[in-house]
Chains A and B, each alone.
Chain A
Amino acid sequence: MGVAYKAVQWNRQKFVYDIILLTTVVFYLFFFEGISLHFSSDLDIKGIWIRAFGSAAFILLHVILSIGPLSRLSPKFLPLLYNRRHMGVTMFILALLHARDALAWYHDFGNLEPIVSLFVSNTHYADFIRFPFEALGGVALVILFLMAATSHDFWLTNLTAPVWKALHMGVYLAYGLLVGHVVLGALETNTHPLLTLAVGVGFVWIVGIHLITALREAQKDGAPLFGPPAQPKVDADGFVHVGSVQDIPENRAKIAVVAGERVAIFKYEGKISAISNVCQHQNGPLGEGKIVDGCITCPWHGYQYLPESGISPPPFTEKIPTFNVKLQGDQILVSAKPNLPGTPVVPAVIGQV
Chain B
Amino acid sequence: MSRLDSHDEFFIGYLGVPPQLKRFLLGLIPVLVLGALAFAFILPPLHFDHFNLGKRTKVPEFEGLLVGEPSPHLLVPRTGDVGTVSDFSLYLLSGTGKTSPKPKVLEHVDKWVKLKGTPFHRNHLTVIATKSAEPIDRPTSGPTQPAEGSSLGEFSLKGEIVDGKCYPGVMKPGRTKTHRSCAIRCIAGGVPPVFVVHNSVGDKLYFLLSDLDGKAVNDKVLDRVADPVQITGEVVQYADAFVLKADPATYQLL
Interfacial residues, chain A to chain B (CB-CB below 8 A): 2, 4, 6-8, 11, 13-14, 20, 24, 27-32, 35-36, 38-41, 43-44, 46-48, 51-52, 55, 59-60, 63, 73-80, 82-83, 105-112, 117-118, 121-122, 130, 132-134, 184-186, 188-192, 194-195, 198, 220, 249, 251-252, 254-255, 288-290, 292, 297, 299, 301-302
Known A39-B45, A75-B11, A192-B46; contact A186-B40, beta-carbon cutoff 8 A? no
Known contacts A43-B56, A109-B99, A121-B182; 15 additional CB pairs below 8 A are A20-B29, A32-B44, A48-B44, A51-B44, A55-B39, A55-B43, A83-B13, A110-B188, A122-B180, A130-B177, A185-B178, A191-B48, A192-B47, A252-B8, A289-B10
Question: Residue B82 at the A interface, CB < 8 A?
Answer: no
Known A105-B171, A121-B184; contact A35-B41, beta-carbon cutoff 8 A? yes
B224 CB to nearest chain A CB (Å): 11
Known A6-B14, A189-B48, A254-B1; contact A44-B43, beta-carbon cutoff 8 A? no
* Residues of chain B from 177 to 192 with CB closer than 8 A to chain A in the complex: 177-182, 184-186, 188-189
CA distance A106 to B186 in the complex (A): 9
B241 CB to nearest chain A CB (Å): 23
Stretch with Cβ within 8 A of A (4 or more), from B30-38, B62-70, B231-239: B30-38
Query: Is B177's CB under 8 angstroms from A11's CB?
Result: no
Interfacial residues, chain B to chain A (CB-CB below 8 A): 1-4, 8, 10-15, 17, 21, 24-25, 28-29, 32-33, 36-37, 39-48, 50-51, 53-56, 96-99, 120, 169-173, 176-182, 184-186, 188-189, 227
Query: Is B98's CB under 8 angstroms from A110's CB?
Result: yes
A214 CB to nearest chain B CB (Å): 16
CA distance A38 to B51 in the complex (A): 10
CA distance A129 to B189 in the complex (A): 25
CA distance A14 to B29 in the complex (A): 15
Query: Is A121's CB under 8 angstroms from B185's CB?
Result: yes
Which residues of B have CB within 8 Å of A220?
A: 1
Query: Is A20's CB under 8 angstroms from B33's CB?
Result: yes
Which residues of A have CB within 8 Å of B25?
A: 79
Query: Is B13's CB under 8 angstroms from A301's CB?
Result: yes
The contact of B37 among A31, A75, A80, A190, by CB within 8 Å, is A31
Residue in A closest to B18 when the chains form the complex, CB atoms: A79
Query: Is B50's CB under 8 angstroms from A39's CB?
Result: yes
Known A75-B4, A220-B1, A290-B8; contact A11-B14, beta-carbon cutoff 8 A? yes
CA distance A118 to B185 in the complex (A): 10
A-B contact pairs, 8 of them (CB 8 A): A11-B13, A38-B44, A41-B55, A106-B181, A111-B99, A134-B181, A184-B177, A190-B47
Query: Is B41's CB under 8 angstroms from A44's CB?
Result: no
CA distance A2 to B13 in the complex (A): 11
Query: Is B182's CB under 8 angstroms from A105's CB?
Result: yes
CA distance A40 to B37 in the complex (A): 20
CA distance A42 to B54 in the complex (A): 9
Query: Is B39's CB under 8 angstroms from A288's CB?
Result: no
Query: Is A35's CB under 8 angstroms from B44's CB?
Result: yes
B4 CB to nearest chain A CB (Å): 6
CA distance A194 to B47 in the complex (A): 10
Residue in B closest to A287 when the chains form the complex, CB atoms: B1
